[in-house]
Each structure stands twice: as C-alpha cells, then as structure tokens.
Amino acid sequence: MSIAENTASPVANGVHLVSRPRPASSAGPPRFLIIGAGSRGTAYAEALKSLSIGVVAAVAEPDDYKRKRFGQTMIWGSREPPAEGAVFADWREFITYEKRRRDRVRAGEQDVPLGVDAAFVCVLDEMHREVVVALAKLGGLHVMCEKPLATTLKDCIEMYQALRVNKLDDGQQALFSIGHVLRYSPHNILLRKLVLEDRVIGDVLSVVHTEPVGWWHFAHSYVRGNWRRESTSAPSLLTKSCHDIDVLLWLLCSPVNCAAQDCPPPHLPSTVSSSGSLQYFKRARKPAAAGTVTNCLSCPAEETCKYSAKRIYVGKELAGLESGNKGWPVKIVVPDIESYGSDTEAKRALLTELARDYDSSTPEPLIARRNWFGRCVYECDNDVCDEQVVTISWDDVNVPSHPSDAINGSGGMEQRAVPPPGRGSKTATFHMVAQTKKICERYTHLYGVDGEIFADSKAITVEDFRTGETTVHHPGIESLGHGGGDLGLTRQFVLAVDKVKNQGWSTERAQRELIGCTLDEVIRSHAMVFCAETARREKRVVDWSEWWETEVEAKMLKLPA
C-alpha cells in the first residue's frame, strides 16, 4: 500500500481532505455481515457503502432499536419486512440460519437466498473469542475483527489457532483482518514509507510515541464506561492502546515489504518494561466541596467541576446534546437519542439516564455489568491505568561483514559484526496519558542516525542532518475516522475479499498484498501488550523471547488441534 503526499485544501485545523477514485465494482460484489450495530459496526458499514465495491447484506444485533435503525440505514431502506437472511437478533441466530441455508444449497433447493462472503465482528471486546471461533468453525467466511482481538492472552491464542484452520471451499485459509486502523491511515502509511523504504533518517535508534487520550474522553470510556474495569473488560493498554503497540512493531519489527513472498523474518524485540497506575480518577482526588455525593446531578460542586456529566453530555461546551450533537458520546448514554421527537424530550431522557446511581445496597454484578455515566468520576468502580509507559528494546542482529572490514585488535585481527539496515539496536517508548486537551491526536518522535522526524495528526516533519534541510509532508485523508484509517482498513479488506471471490487471487496473496498484515503479526502485537502488563505488575524487565516461548508457544502446543 502507498499513499502519495497530497496538499489539497485544508478542511479543518490543518488537515487536508482528498478524494481517491473508487475501485471498480465486480459483477458479483462481495456481501458482508455486520455483527454488532454499535458505533464501530456502523463506522465500517458506512465506509463499506462509500466504496461501492461491496454490499452490506446483513446485520446481527440484539438491541431492537440499533438493529432496526442500522438495517433501514444500511440495508433494506424503507422496505418492510427485510429480505430473508438480512437481519438476525444475534450472531448465534446467524450461525443457525447459515448452516440451514448451506444445507438447502447442497440439497439442490431452488431460490435459496445468497449468503455472505465475510463478516465484520464489532461486538463487545469480551465477546470476540466466542464469535470469531464460532465463525471459524462454521468455515468459509473471511473475518474482520474489531480490536482488540480478545481481552485475555488465552483467548487470543485460541482465536489464532481457530483462524488458522478457517478454510474456504477450495481449501484455502480464509482472510483475516484486525481493526488496527492506524496501519491504514494515509499519515502512517507515508510515515512508514519514509522511515523504512526511503530511509530518510537512516537506521532508527529511538522512537517516542504518545497517545493523548483526552481528559473527558478518558472519563467517559475508562472511568464511567465500558472499559473501566479489568475484570469486566481488560487493561486500558489493551483496550485503548493496542493500536499504538501494533504501530510501533509495524515500524520497527515487521519486514519492510509485507507483500514480498521471500520477505525476511521480523526483527524481534529483546526486552519489555512498563510502569503505570490509576493516578487520578480515585476517591483521594475528590474535591472537598463535593462531600459524600456520588452523582453529578445532585452534587453541590457540579457547576465548577470539569468532569460534570451535565457539562460533558448535555452542555454546549464540549460535545453535549445542546451543541447539536446526538452522536458519540451522547448516543452511548442514550442509544436511541435520535428517536425522540424534540430536543426537550431528548434532554429529559438524557438527564434521566445520568441520574441513575448505585449505593452499598446495589448488587455488585449489577454495578459491574452496566455503565454509570452520571456517576462522580472520583467515586466510580474503575481500576484501569490512566497513565502508562511501555519501553521496548531491540538488540543488534549481527552479520559478519566482508573480510576487508577487519580491524586491528590487541590480539591480532578482529572482524566487525554489522547489523543489516533496520536491524540494529533501538528503543521504542510509548506513553498513554489521560490528562490532555488533545483527544487521540497521537504524535511521534523518531530519532535516526541521519536525522529525525516529528509526526503528528497533521504533518510529518523530516530534519535531515546530512543536508540541513527540513521537509514537511502533509498526507491527505479521505475521512476523519482515525485519520482515514477506518476507510482505509475497510477498503483493503473489501478489496481482498473481492480479489479472492471474483478475480482469481489466492487468499495468501490477498492477505499479503492488500490486507498487509499476517495472523502472526496480529498475535505478536497483542502478546506484546500482555507482556508489558506482566512487566508492569511484576515491576521487572521481561526478556521477550523467554516470555514468548513460555506464555505463547508453550500454550499453543497445549491447545487441541
């Protein structure tokens, strides 16, 4: 994949909007099932529809409102009832239906509805393993799973094993893609090209990468929301930042050309360390003026509190209802917010939901299984880190040079050991931080032997030590979703499915050339997150190869074939 530099007219804050030609549609465009009609499922469906080379053919969603709205918007429009095979109450209903549909085809029955070629899995993180393994056992479907792959290393390994034996009718392994959308943003594609292909700063020695989550975004998702507790979700390094760990490995570990059949093995890390904790969002930080109140709507300090639920979800200042926003995060609090006939009714419903609270008499399972968006951020049941640093190091890959490179030593002649390009020692430091004005506007410093790069969400600035020149690149984007990554990932996955279905490509070729990420890379980047969590909890530097052999390879061998 490659994205040329583009300096089209800016749309906002220095970001440039560009358009790319739509790929030509095949006679029998691939058909897709969306499992989970929430924000991520909707984002991928919208991207898919905009490409015009695939069809959103079916949805599986347990929530009646989400399912109907998604179907009317993305699939059947105003037509009622929907066509057979277009709508399912959940993924299990789809599996049952699809088995029967295939039986009907094998029996030679006429007028059997077309099936789907692939599925986007966009359910809750903790459901990924169950859904993906079931799809793999069904067989014959290509799969794109939203990140993270799963919430435990054990589940990731089980999914990896299952996906390896997910076969098409012709015996080929089905395609798989993970929702690491940052790989597919024009910004990161250009950055990787500059670093690895063009080598504009020579060998990389150090990378410092930051994800600024955003002060109120973190409060919404990781203090009040779905991802606030490790026991019901996973560590925040996984749920929020597995993107970032993956990008670092993509830049520093993966082969330069993923499409090459004879590409060299990855340059694997040497050590991993991490530190971090829940620093801020806890009772000890609660303002004295708030007293013992646990809900924003009854708090005497609400008007002066930056984390006021009314300020975040209702007011005009951020992204509240009164700003005209009925999307994220408002619709996360009230999913059917758009169904209310007036703004007054919508606000009443929103305030009613924000007023919900729990106390010592509330059963713990009830507290854990739902979100409490009106709850005081200093009184929540959250426990995930709001600050974390991960450091990954690599050693030289030493290859003896030509004898002419020999040097004199005290004992005679000694031959140099020169690492190949890109395979020298280096260090990557990742910082996830909650208390920032920026919301997910990542930025990266790369330091090389011949120069340095600073890359943010708008530009890539290259400083060349050899010439003294400064070059600024402005990658264009087609959409704002993850810097164009949502659309980019969807395009590559849909193109891959189309090439396999309609144009005679092997799945191995489509996986390499279009998806550009192997199943091995997926398991490696997720394993790196769990390794970092081991280092953080145990307060030690972890030897990567030893940890991998013990925690991944050994456990793969114990799983049933």
pLDDT digits (tens, 9 = 90+) for 283-332: 999 999 999 999 999 999 999 999 999 999 999 999 999 999 999 999 99
The residue among 258 and 10 whose pLDDT is bigger is 258
- Nearest Cα to Cα of residue 249 among 273, 269, 275: 269
> What is the distance between the alpha carbons of residues 261 and 263, in angstroms, rounded to a whole number?
6
* CATH 3.40.50.720 segments of the chain: 27-180+485-517
What is the mean pLDDT of the segment spanning 181-194?
94
Residue 409 has pLDDT above 50, yes or no: no
Sheet with strand 118-121: strands edge to edge: 87-88, 55-60, 31-35, 118-121, 142-145, 176-178
pLDDT for residue 481: 66
Residue 79, judged by CB atoms within 10 A of its CB (0-12, 13-18, 19+), counts as: exposed
pLDDT of residue 388: 98
Q: Residue written as tokens 């000694």? A: 414
**Of 6 and 253, which is predicted with more confidence?**
253
Residue 5 has pLDDT above 80, yes or no: no
CATH number of 27-180+485-517, picked from 3.40.50.720, 3.40.630.30, 1.20.140.10, 3.40.720.10: 3.40.50.720
Residue that has been written with the tokens 């996984």 in this structure: 238
Q: What is the pLDDT of residues 470-493, one digit of tens each?
A: 999 998 777 666 678 899 999 999
Sheet holding 10-12: strands in order across?
10-12, 15-17, 476-477
pLDDT recorded at residue 406: 46
Bridge partners for 207 per DSSP: 428, 446
* Per-residue model confidence (pLDDT) at position 288: 96
pLDDT tens-digit series, residues 241-290: 999 999 999 999 987 876 666 778 899 999 999 999 999 999 999 999 99
Q: What is the mean pLDDT of residues 217-229?
A: 97
What pTM was computed for the model? 0.91
